[in-house]
Amino acid sequence: MNTMHIGELAERAGMSLRTIRHYDEVGLLVPSGRTAGGFRVYTEGDLERLLVIRRMKPLGFTLDEMAELLRVVDALGTSDAEDEAALAARLDEFLEDARARHAKLLERAGMAEEFIGTLGSLRASLP
């Protein structure tokens, strides 16, 4: 199994060491292991988990919401049929919420583009 230290994980994910350590402290991203010297060791699976977290952040999900979604994702495929149905329903709720948050983000980006256009027009009218 290929592993990496926190610096490589941070570089590959485009995130800071501080953020990754915080996610460890709050239980969102626990390292797969530690070296004899106590350094965190991560796997490709840990990187994928971190990328899921990173993708949720711009949509405004709280740490608690992220943790809940990750619990659902972790439980998928490991539960009985009844539990799988409940997990699928919860996943659908997260999906709908993410879509709504994305739409709001696009709306805000559109407003920002309009504002930039307004500033550009004002600037163009000056000598």
62-110 per-position pLDDT tens digit:
999 999 999 999 998 787 878 888 999 999 999 999 999 999 999 999 9
CATH fold of 6-124 reads Multidrug-efflux Transporter Regulator; Chain: A; Domain 2 (1.10.1660)
- From residue 42, how far is each of 33, 34, 77, 126 by CA, in Å? 7, 8, 23, 55
Containing 88, the helix (H) or strand (E) segment is: helix 81-124
| pLDDT at residue 1 is higher than 90 | no
- In this prediction, residue 80 carries a pLDDT of 83
Amino acid (1-letter code) at residue 127: P
Mean pLDDT of the residues in the chain: 94
Residue 27: the pLDDT is 94
